[in-house]
A and B are shown apart, each in its own frame.
Chain A
């Protein structure tokens, strides 16, 4: 029997909704079958906690007296964007600091703000008739700011490559340190608990979907950048390569520093670990069947990161169950596998979201618009000539 968002929300309000995690639901579907499980379960919680570089914060500092139109802005030595209105900025997660480089970047500033720490704000301006101040040097806390919200253009990748290094040199990448001569494989996923792998065709996740975002209640605001719903899929519709992504928005003032953390990838740069949980309403049997997916049925490609080209060679197609087993056989050689995103924290987030819903603190938001399917990726052509 099909359910509506409203019916599920009424059950949440009465404290009667059956809410389970995307890992727990696998056993329920095996035991009861898809049809009965779809009647029984109302919401399945999914989550992930991993490095998501395309992240950052919009901040408004409020006006000083006399006021300044901030042109060059830095926070704890990390440059923020000065091309918005007078005291608005965007602080990108991967921006390194002037003094500590990638060891302390935008993501670390964002974490420190959420943790309630004072941050050193320095701004310069050429001075205008309406904004006469030319310099500013002060300390700010999150609570001092007017608005502070994360607006991450690309998070929660639906599937991602596993990485290997076929060269004789050690590689330092955003997929971690890759040992030479195919010494190891790294992968980054919450697998069967991952949000977009549980809703592969985006039947319930769209613009406006309410989510767990860094410990706050946030929203899906748009399709993420490099949104690739035209990716290759298996016969059921699960992506076999990187697929959909989401742009997320949420209030930093309601976030928990535990779920938003600065990260450093040696030889590569700063990134940010972002904790995201997405509830999937079990509206019908089709959605129930999708969330029952297991690691053994989810596949990705092992890609050789030593090839300095956009199209890197695929060495093997592997399931997440194989990757999670600790080693994968490639050409007769057993190669160790290591995760890069924290399944332990993802489970904690799925449980936390589960508790919010059970306590009636979190309600489902039906998307106000669905995302396009069949959206493919464009590359960037390098064109010759100095002027056109």
Chain B
């Protein structure tokens, strides 16, 4: 199976060879989609991992044991339903249809379609779309 996960490394976990462990011990393939490290040496890594379901789960347990935050995600953007007014401005820039108006003119976010261009974050007048990395 394939899964997208967002890892957050606290300062003390940065510098450990986590990726090697995932490959060697848990037989996981992964593709680094995005990586970011801030001024406080806290890191964020968006991975698409491939492997047996049991191996993926065990790998995630291993990461968590090493104080690495793991979050399952489909898309790197989140729409805050309290701020969104369903104006539709974000749909103007979403060429892949991940952000779309429903038949009753509510905004719907098909997060599996998102290609992470992040243009919707800028397009949202309510600043209701938040990028996770």
**A residues with CB within 8 A of B:** 49-51, 103, 176-179, 183-184, 186, 261, 263-266, 271, 273, 336, 338-345, 347
Collect the chain B residues with CB atoms within 8 Å of residue A183's CB.
95
Interface string of B75-98 (1 = CB under 8 A from A): 000000000011111011101000
Residues B106 and A338 in contact, CB atoms below 8 Å apart: no
Chain A residue with Cβ nearest B83: A261
Question: How many residues on chain B are close to A (CB under 8 Å)?
Answer: 19
Which of B95, B106, B122 contacts A344, CB < 8 Å? B106
In this complex, which of B86, B88, B101, B119 has the most chain A Cβ atoms within 10 angstroms of its Cβ? Answer: B88
Once A and B bind, how many residue pairs between them come within 8 Å at the CB atom?
A: 72
Assess whether B87 is in contact with A339, with CB atoms less than 8 Å apart.
yes
Q: Do A263 and B86 touch across chains, with their CB atoms under 8 A apart?
A: no
Report the separation of the CA atoms of residues A347 and B85 in the bound assembly, to the nearest whole angstrom: 12
> In this complex, what residue of A is CB-closest to B90?
A338
B122 cross-chain contacts in A, Cβ below 8 A = 177, 266
The docked-state distance in angstroms from the alpha carbon of A344 to that of B122 is: 22
Residue of A nearest to B121 (CB): A266
Query: Does the CB pair B85–A345 fall under 8 Å?
Result: yes
A50, B127: Cβ atoms closer than 8 Å: no
Q: Are A177 and B92 in contact (CB under 8 A)?
A: yes
When A103-B127, A261-B126, A263-B125 are in contact, do A186 and B89 touch as well, CB less than 8 Å? yes
Minimal Cβ-Cβ distance residue in B for A271: B125
Q: A176-B92, A339-B105, A340-B88 are in contact. List 5 more A-B contacts (CB 8 A).
A: A51-B125, A176-B125, A339-B89, A339-B101, A342-B88
B-side interface mostly? loop
Contacts of A184 in B (CB 8 A): 92-93
User: With contacts A184-B93, A344-B106 known, is A177 near B88, CB below 8 A?
Assistant: no
Contact of B85 among A103, A261, A266, A271 (CB under 8 A): A261
Provide a sorted-by-A list of 25 A–B residue pairs whose CB atoms are within 8 angstroms.
A49-B85, A51-B87, A176-B123, A177-B122, A179-B92, A179-B93, A186-B89, A186-B92, A261-B85, A263-B126, A265-B125, A271-B125, A273-B87, A273-B126, A338-B91, A339-B87, A339-B88, A339-B89, A339-B105, A340-B89, A340-B92, A342-B87, A342-B88, A342-B105, A345-B86
B104 at the interface (CB under 8 A from A): yes
Q: Which of A177, A183, A341, A347 has its CB near the most chain B CB atoms (within 10 A)?
A: A177
Query: A342-B85, A344-B106 are contacts. A177–B93 as well, Cβ < 8 Å?
Result: yes
In the bound assembly, the distance between CA atoms of A338 and B105 in angstroms comes to 11
In contact, A266 and B123 (Cβ under 8 angstroms): yes
Report yes or no: A264 in contact with B125, Cβ–Cβ below 8 A: yes
Chain A contact residues, majority secondary structure: strand
Are the C-beta atoms of B92 and A338 separated by less than 8 Å?
A: yes
Contact partner, B88, options A263, A265, A266, A338, Cβ 8 Å: A338
The chain B residue sitting closest to A345, CB to CB, is B85
A-B complex: 7 closest residue pairs judged by Cβ atoms? A263-B125, A338-B92, A339-B88, A343-B105, A344-B86, A266-B122, A338-B91
Find the B residue at minimum CB distance from A347. B105
Nearest Cβ distance between residue B44 and chain A, in whole angstroms? Answer: 22
Give Cα distance in the complex from A103 to B127, angstroms: 9
Q: Is the CB of B126 within 8 A of A344?
A: no
Residues 112-133 of B at the A interface (beta carbon under 8 Å):
119, 122-123, 125-127
Partner-A contacts on B (CB < 8 A): 85-89, 91-93, 95, 101, 104-106, 119, 122-123, 125-127
| Complex-state Cα separation, A183 to B86, whole angstroms | 21
Q: Which of B89, B104, B126, B127 makes the CB contact (< 8 A) with A338?
A: B89
Chain A residues within 8 Å of B89, by CB: 176-177, 186, 338-340
Chain A residue numbers with a CB within 8 Å of B86 are 342-345
- Answer whether A264 and B127 are a contact pair too, CB < 8 Å, given A177-B93, A183-B95, A186-B92: yes
- Contact yes or no, A177 B105, CB < 8 A: no
Q: How far is the CB of A256 from chain B (nearest CB, A)?
A: 13
From B87, B106, B123, A341 is in contact (CB under 8 Å) with B87
State the CA gap A261–B82 with chains docked (Å). Answer: 12
Q: Taking each of A51, A264, A336, A342, which has the highest tally of chain B beta carbons within 10 Å of its own beta carbon?
A: A342
Whole-angstrom distance between the alpha carbons of A336 and B87 in the complex?
Answer: 16
Of A183, A265, A266, A347, most B-chain CB atoms within 10 Å:
A266
Indicate if the CB atoms of B105 and A273 lie closer than 8 Å.
Answer: no
Q: For the complex, what is the distance from the CA of A179 to the CA of B91, rounded to whole Å?
A: 12
Residue in B87, B88, B123 whose Cβ sees the most chain A Cβ within 10 Å: B87
Closest Cβ of chain B: how far from A326's Cβ, in Å? 8
Which residues of A are found within 8 Å of B123, using beta-carbon distances?
A: 176-177, 266
> A50, A273, A338, A343 — which one has the most chain B CB atoms within 10 A of its CB?
A338
B117 to chain A, nearest CB (A): 11
Q: How near does chain B come to A180, taking the closest CB pair, in angstroms?
A: 12
